Amino acid sequence: MFICFRRDTMASSSQSIYFSQQEINELNSYEQGGLIMYAAQIKKKLNNMKNAKLNIAVTGDAGAGKSTFINAMRGLRGCDEGAAKTGTKETTMKRTPYKHPDFPNVCFWDLPGFGSLKFPMKDYVSKMEFTTYDFFIIISQNRFTENDANVAKVIKNLRKRFYFVRNKIDNDIRSLQGQGIVFNIKDKFDNVKQDLSHDLMGAGIAEPIVFLISSFSVHEFDFPRLKGQLINSLDGIKKDALLMSLRSTTVKIVEQKRAQLKKHIWMLATASAAVGALPVPGLSFAVDLGLIGTTIIDFRKIFGLDDASLQRLANVANTPVGNLKAVVRTPLVGEINEEFVKQMLVRSSFAAVSVVEIYLDFIPIIGSIFGAVSSFGMTYKLLTNILDELVENAHRVMKVAFPTDPGHP
């Protein structure tokens, strides 16, 4: 088998998104030690990636829509199991955590608005444990207040990021329409943003970033742009944690997930070929069938193609789940066990494996070792095919769920 390595956009090994230079040096020092040590290290990294924690704070006055926003980010409606209660009077002065239903390492923290509390800012900052978050969302249902600006200043001093989210924009649009006012939505949005930015700058925020959203419409207004900005503001494994947890509500998100997961596959293939690899009857090479099975299940969840995710998407998109399931055309959504994985490998081993393009996060010195191990190439190819198949299905599902997304081919 001929294998050609492709390093994607990486200019040099020091620019790995997942590995520090020290880790790369360590990995490359295994040249003499062989594949097993190397692969064990890679597997450790995969586990770290899976367990990467992300803590997102959402603050703002009572009634602004914090709980509804948190539910939207988790793909839930207010009535769904595990959803944050909405429309209720805030009775707690404590922060409340809401884990993502599928990716519990991603946690949204509902913080009572500073304005509703009777204690000074420094107490608010320590009680709400400001130092523990990766970034902050400051949410309002109309203009931002001085309290919002003061909270932002504290966050800035902590060298953390914050975003201003003006929620309930659907109400504004409805109210204009109700009055028979003709307006251009882009101009209207620009005006609202200018006003909000003006207020915030007046309160001492240098370059406020403002998004206009409706927490009821995750695929409309600035919601997709907000998600994009949040993803881009993070690096490495935290970036992946957020991206993978986001519901596949736009073509862009699905494609970003595909691009990012492609960079995981060489690691998964290395671990499968070396760490838990066992000879498989009927195959001429040893692989870790369990790891491949778990990976398929993880990928499926990431693209929202498991039963629970499809149901949640149907709820949010207000479409019968049967309409979504009708366009799913892959056996990858059924039961995944080791026998299933083996059959896939047996079938794919008949396909010609001539050139495998491998996306590497960095060029390992022992890169040539992969070429010698056919189980690496087979697993790599299998997982790449699986990823592409799931992505095609995710696109079909989304086209039914959100037919207005302009990104559809």
Here the tokens at position 36 are 């097993």
- Candidate residues 23, 26, 80, 170; the one interacting with ligand GDP per rule CB under 6 A: 170
Stretch that binds ligand GDP, among 34-42, 85-93, 145-153, 276-284 (CB under 6 A): 85-93
Of the two residues 141 and 197, which places its CB atom closer to ligand GDP in the complex? 141
| Shortest Cβ 61–ligand GDP spacing (Å) | 7
87 lies in the site for ligand GDP, by CB under 6 A: yes
| Shortest Cβ 304–ligand GDP spacing (Å) | 22
Residue 73 sits at the vertex; the CA angle it makes with 67 and 78, to the nearest 5 degrees, is 45
Stretch that binds ligand GDP, among 13-21, 167-175, 297-305, 330-338 (CB under 6 A): 167-175
86 lies in the site for ligand GDP, by CB under 6 A: yes
Site size toward ligand GDP (CB under 6 A) is 18
62 lies in the site for ligand GDP, by CB under 6 A: yes
| Shortest Cβ 59–Mg ion spacing (Å) | 11
Of the two residues 66 and 166, which places its CB atom closer to Mg ion in the complex? 66
Stretch that binds Mg ion, among 20-28, 58-66, 259-267, 308-316 (CB under 5 A): 58-66
Span 201-230, contacts to ligand GDP by CB under 6 A: 214-216
- Candidate residues 13, 67, 250, 384; the one interacting with Mg ion per rule CB under 5 A: 67
Those residues whose C-beta lies under 8 Å from the C-beta of residue 363, and which sit 6 or more positions away, are 5, 7, 10, 13
Chosen from Mg ion, ligand GDP, none, partner binding at 286 (C-beta under 5 to 8 Å by type): none
Strands (DSSP E) contained in 282-375 are 286-287, 355-359
| Shortest Cβ 197–ligand GDP spacing (Å) | 20
111 lies in the site for ligand GDP, by CB under 6 A: no
Here the tokens at position 262 are 């492609």
256 lies in the site for Mg ion, by CB under 5 A: no
Stretch that binds ligand GDP, among 36-44, 84-92, 197-205, 338-346 (CB under 6 A): 84-92
65 lies in the site for ligand GDP, by CB under 6 A: yes
Query: What sign does the CA torsion over 236, 303, 254, 251 have?
Result: negative
| Shortest Cβ 181–ligand GDP spacing (Å) | 18
| Shortest Cβ 62–ligand GDP spacing (Å) | 5
| Shortest Cβ 174–ligand GDP spacing (Å) | 8
Stretch that binds ligand GDP, among 86-94, 246-254, 318-326, 329-337 (CB under 6 A): 86-94
Q: In the bound complex, which residue of the shown chain has the CB atom lying closest to ligand GDP?
A: 65
Binding region for ligand GDP (CB under 6 A): 60, 62-68, 86-87, 90, 167-168, 170-171, 214-216
Binding region for Mg ion (CB under 5 A): 66-67
